[in-house]
Amino acid sequence: MDKRLERILPRVQKPARYVGGEYGAVVKDPAGVDLRFALCFPDTYEIGMSNLGLRILYGVLNGMEGVWCERAFAPWGDMEAAMREAGLPLYGLESGDSLRDFDIIGFSIGYEMAYIAMLDMLDLAGLPLRSADRDGSMPLVVAGGTAMYNAEPVADFVDLVLLGEGEDELPALVSLYRRARQAGWDRRALLREAAKLPGFYVPSLYQIDYHEDGTIAAITPLEGAPATVTKQLVADMDRSYFPVHTIVPSTEVVHDRVTLEVFRGCIRGCRFCQAGFVYRPVRCRSKDLLVQYGQEACRASGYQEMTLSSLSTSDYRDLTGLCDGLEPFCREQHVNLSLPSLRADTFSMELMQRLQRGRKAGLTFAPEAGTQRLRDAINKNLTEEDLQQSLRTAFSGGWNSVKLYFMLGLPTETDEDILGIARMADHVVRCWRENASNKNRGLRVTVSTSWFVPKPFTPFQWEAQIPLEEYERRVKLLREAITARAVTYNWHDGDTSFLEAVLARGDRRLGRVLEEAFRRGAKLDAWQEYFDLSRWLDAFAACGLDPAFYAGRVRQRGEIFPWSMIACGVREDYLWRERERAYQSVPTPDCRTACGGCGANSLVGGTCHV
């Protein structure tokens, strides 16, 4: 361990975040590898080590001959300050070596508010922020994750963007990097060849021109780059890598358990949900393989909790059979099985009985909107009777804690829709009084609202976010309408959601704003402890850009989006048609009921595993 690090650790919170050495971490002899890869997560250790995608890529890369993949996370403020004071650069947890010593640095970015942490990590590693300022002796910087479906705000800082799922694509990049080094290519030649790899977008090979009004006039590929880059995905989940043998953290993390990924994609098509569209089509793992993986992962790690994970776990076709397959092992080994992402219309007594075998936590449902009209507009395909039936089942089975999630500011929302949320909360209280099998502990209902953020590759990508003042008015309206003592109301901070909307639909000019905000002190801005909207507004003003241009403006059909060179498999005309149906409050059936013809099944040979 570096002597500087030894002196720092006793003075910071949670020093276990920074020392590595966990059970299952991969340590290799640097002399025995020819390529070193730093897998970076632009958030704290507790968040990053809860990310299944990071664990998958860590296992895939370390399974390659001659490759050593290490991890790096964003340090908390006390640790960062101590590192800068001591001149200690950001390092890989496994070796303690500076990130400058690695060949490739890969960032996993699932959330726009993590952009600024990526810049902070690059700077802490002693690397120039802008890719144009990094020479061939410095690591290649690649970024992937959901937030990279619009990578333009960080286009100036990354060399490459990986679109889609990285299990197959990162090994291809590793092979290309080795070939480039053996042939003596310069950085530009490597990037030109990388642009030919499926799923890799090279921002520096695209010229962006603007109209006088600030909208994009043209996106021009350069030096043979493709006009459109299409996401890549794993077609057969039964053949994809699963991290049975993985790292067991030495300190508490957010999701400290075995996470069993049952499928990718979603059949539902909620019109606000970016993940539901960009991860299409649905691809499932077989029940028997999931049972095997779950048992092996628990034995290898010692975990006594397992969760079944996906965008909508209760839509797995043989969920009951999967629970039956896991239940004997879980009972014998005292492993608690949890099922998140439950839908009110698929919650059943049979499923509840399986939940009761573990500890009985609170139930969480996401109606998203307070009236049927608005739920139809956003294509939630959920009725209040679905929710009431699920609650009757839960309350009669002994549950007494329910969380309900909603959004404010959805397209077509009215005050009547907002007041409908309060009425739904009252109906929950009434349902408990009429059906609860055990009233001794009382009822706890938590209503939480977030502010709608329009995201790329959704039917609402054309929409404007409502102004901050209007959002706060709607929060106040709902807060005053909720009167039941058993109901607690929580709402998401508006400042953060406003900036998220700006970054989600931002163009390449926002790179200047990100850099200016970083110079003014922005870093871990996904955390309220660090976020300061005024600092960002000052950065926008210094760069001569108006954030409302990005967050508060309706896009016209035919306008070129900053992400128009990217294809996620879902056709734009399908998304537009879904937007029109939203304004008519007409729902679209889920993919299992009827194929809507979105086009994503072309990525897997024309067949969705719905």
Domain boundary among 230, 255, 287: 230
Task: State the pLDDT at residue 55.
Answer: 96
Residue 515 maps to a domain = no
Task: State the pLDDT at residue 396.
Answer: 86
d(CA 212, CA 216): 9
Q: ∠433-434-440 over CA atoms, to 5°?
A: 45
Residue 530 maps to a domain = no
Question: What are the residues whose beta carbons fall under 8 Å from the beta carbon of 261, sequence distance 6 or more?
Answer: 52, 242, 285, 309, 310
Lowest mean pLDDT segment, chosen from 31-40, 356-365, 425-434, 541-550? 356-365
Residue 415 maps to a domain = yes
- Residue range 294-321, pLDDT digits in tens: 999 999 999 999 999 998 888 899 888 9
What are the tokens at 381? 């395909």
Residue 364 and residue 226 in one domain: no
d(CA 277, CA 199): 17
Lowest mean pLDDT segment, chosen from 35-44, 134-143, 357-366, 450-459? 357-366
DSSP H or E stretch at residue 477: helix 468-481
DSSP string, 385-422: HHHHHHHHHHHHTT--EEEEEEEES-TT--HHHHHHHH
Task: State the pLDDT at residue 604.
Answer: 81
Q: Do residues 316 and 322 make contact, with C-beta atoms less than 8 angstroms apart?
A: yes
What are the tokens at 22? 């966990």
Q: Order the strands of the 444-451 sheet from edge to edge.
A: 363-368, 401-408, 444-451, 487-491
The total domain count for the chain is: 2
- Residue range 164-193, pLDDT digits in tens: 999 989 999 999 999 999 999 999 999 999
* Residue 23 DSSP class: B
How many C-beta atoms surround the C-beta of residue 90 within 10 A? 24
Average pLDDT over residues 240-259: 93
Residue 196 maps to a domain = yes
Residue 553 has φ and ψ, to the nearest 5°, of: -120, 130
pLDDT over 80 at 607, yes or no: no
Output the average pLDDT for the chain: 93
Residue 516 maps to a domain = no
In the numeric block, the tokens 């520096």 are attached to 204
- Residue range 317-367, pLDDT digits in tens: 988 899 999 999 999 999 988 877 567 666 665 666 665 554 556 788 899
pLDDT over 60 at 125, yes or no: yes
Residue 49 maps to a domain = yes
For position 440, which CATH number holds? 3.30.750.200
Domain boundary among 468, 492, 516: 492
pLDDT band at 436 (very low <50, low <70, confident <90, very high): confident
Task: State the pLDDT at residue 390.
Answer: 87
Domain boundary among 476, 492, 508: 492
Residue 529 maps to a domain = no
Q: Do residues 70 and 252 make contact, with C-beta atoms less than 8 angstroms apart?
A: no
pLDDT band at 438 (very low <50, low <70, confident <90, very high): confident
Residue 198 maps to a domain = yes
pLDDT over 80 at 518, yes or no: yes
Q: Do residues 84 and 125 make contact, with C-beta atoms less than 8 angstroms apart?
A: no
d(CA 586, CA 580): 9
Residue 211 and residue 64 in one domain: yes
Average pLDDT over residues 128-138: 95
d(CA 182, CA 335): 50
Decide the pairing of beta strands 140-144 and 104-108.
parallel
Task: State the pLDDT at residue 341.
Answer: 58
- Residue range 58-113, pLDDT digits in tens: 999 999 999 999 999 999 999 999 999 999 999 999 999 999 999 999 999 999 99
Task: State the pLDDT at residue 107.
Answer: 98
Average pLDDT over residues 21-27: 95
For position 80, which CATH number holds? 3.40.50.280
pLDDT over 70 at 497, yes or no: yes
Chain centre distance of CA 488: 27
In the numeric block, the tokens 């990388």 are attached to 194
Question: What are the residues whose beta carbons fall under 8 Å from the beta carbon of 493, sequence distance 6 or more?
Answer: 528, 531
Task: State the pLDDT at residue 362.
Answer: 74
DSSP string, 68-97: EEEEEEPPPHHHHHHHHHHT---B-TTT--
* Domain carrying residue 386: 360-492
Percentage, residues of the chain above pLDDT 70:
96
